[in-house]
């Protein structure tokens, strides 16, 4: 099966509509990233079929069209090589997206790739713990999304301070998501979040089991959080 056919048919099976030019842009991003990956460590997944399923599709399942509105502010925390932020911006050009990472080289790559693809994104080189204390970013986002960054306990402390009250934190997890959610109950209570829904899906061919956890921000996060860099990871709430 050709790369484009694989991408489009897999998304169709998951009820994610995609335009022809969007599919082309997603595959162009893959080519740009895999070329850059020869010089900078962006991914260990280098086979095109695996890349399409485990990076592109895995990113696109994270944000349902139901949550997308014109001008909505989305922040991708710990974007790495641009996931899920770049695929989401390609699929939903109407969103405003900020991509955050603590590694400058990765953001430089994303900046070059976004220019190449003709898409507009905001890039921020900072640790999440510092960003969450900055008034420019704190509680300013409708959606904060994160993929493969940390367990739910730690992730809640990194993400929820950036989410507006009534906004959403979205994380994608594997089969052991229930254990993570149980461990994160206290953290979410302290930080002002509660589970709104869990969307289960399996990515075809790769048979990847995914659980998209949607946390609603019901109360403002206390000023003490996030704690100083490293603490959310070393000593989760």
Give me the tens of pLDDT residue by residue for the chain, a chain 237 residues long.
799 999 999 999 999 999 999 999 999 999 999 999 999 999 999 999 999 999 999 999 999 988 998 899 999 999 999 999 999 999 999 999 999 999 999 999 999 999 999 999 999 999 999 999 999 999 999 999 999 778 999 999 999 999 999 999 999 999 999 999 999 999 999 999 999 999 999 999 989 999 999 999 999 999 999 999 999 999 999
pLDDT of amino acid 54: 95
Whether residue 219 contacts residue 165, with contact meaning beta carbons closer than 8 Å, is answered with yes
Whole-structure pTM over 0.85, yes or no? yes
Cβ(191)–Cβ(157) under 8 Å? yes
161 DSSP 8-state letter: G
Helix boundaries (H) for 14-161: 20-36, 48-51, 58-60, 85-91, 104-117, 128-131, 152-159
Can you state the angle between helices 3-13 and 20-36, rounded to 10 degrees? 120
Phi-psi domain of 201 (left: phi exceeds 0; alpha: psi -120 through 50; beta: other): beta
What is the domain extent for residue 25?
3-234
**Which pLDDT score, from 0 to 100, does residue 1 have?**
72
Domains in the chain: how many in total? 1
d(CA 191, CA 150): 16
Locus of tokens 């890039």? 123
Cα–Cα distance between 7 and 5 in angstroms, integer? 5
How far is Cα 213 from Cα 165, in angstroms, rounded to an integer?
17
Can you tell me which residue has the tokens 């695929």?
87
Q: Which two tokens stand for residue 49?
A: 């079929």
| Residue 160 to residue 70: CA distance in whole angstroms | 22
Question: Which CATH number is 79's domain given?
Answer: 3.40.50.150
Residue 143 C-beta-side C-alpha neighbours within 13 Å = 26
């Amino acid at each position: 099966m050709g790369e484009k056919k694989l991408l489009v048919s897999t998304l169709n099976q998951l009820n994610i509509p995609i335009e022809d030019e969007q599919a082309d842009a997603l595959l162009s991003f893959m080519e740009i990233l895999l070329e850059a990956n020869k010089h900078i460590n962006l991914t260990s997944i280098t086979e095109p079929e695996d890349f399409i399923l485990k990076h592109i599709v895995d990113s696109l399942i994270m944000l349902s069209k139901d949550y997308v509105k014109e001008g909505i502010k989305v922040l991708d925390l710990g974007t790495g090589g641009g996931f899920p932020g770049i695929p989401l911006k390609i699929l939903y050009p109407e969103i405003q997206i900020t991509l955050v990472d603590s590694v400058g080289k990765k953001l430089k790559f994303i900046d070059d790739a976004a220019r190449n693809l003709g898409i507009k994104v905001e890039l921020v080189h900072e640790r999440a713990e510092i960003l969450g204390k900055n008034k420019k970013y704190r509680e300013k986002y409708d959606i904060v999304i994160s993929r493969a960054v940390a367990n739910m306990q730690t992730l809640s402390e990194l993400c929820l301070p950036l989410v507006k009250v009534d906004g959403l934190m979205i994380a994608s997890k594997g089969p052991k998501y229930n254990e993570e959610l149980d461990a994160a109950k206290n953290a979410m209570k302290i930080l002002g979040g509660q589970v709104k829904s869990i969307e289960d899906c399996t990515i075809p061919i790769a048979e990847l089991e995914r659980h998209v956890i949607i946390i609603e921000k019901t109360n403002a996060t206390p000023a003490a959080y996030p704690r100083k860099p490293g603490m959310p990871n070393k000593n989760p709430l």
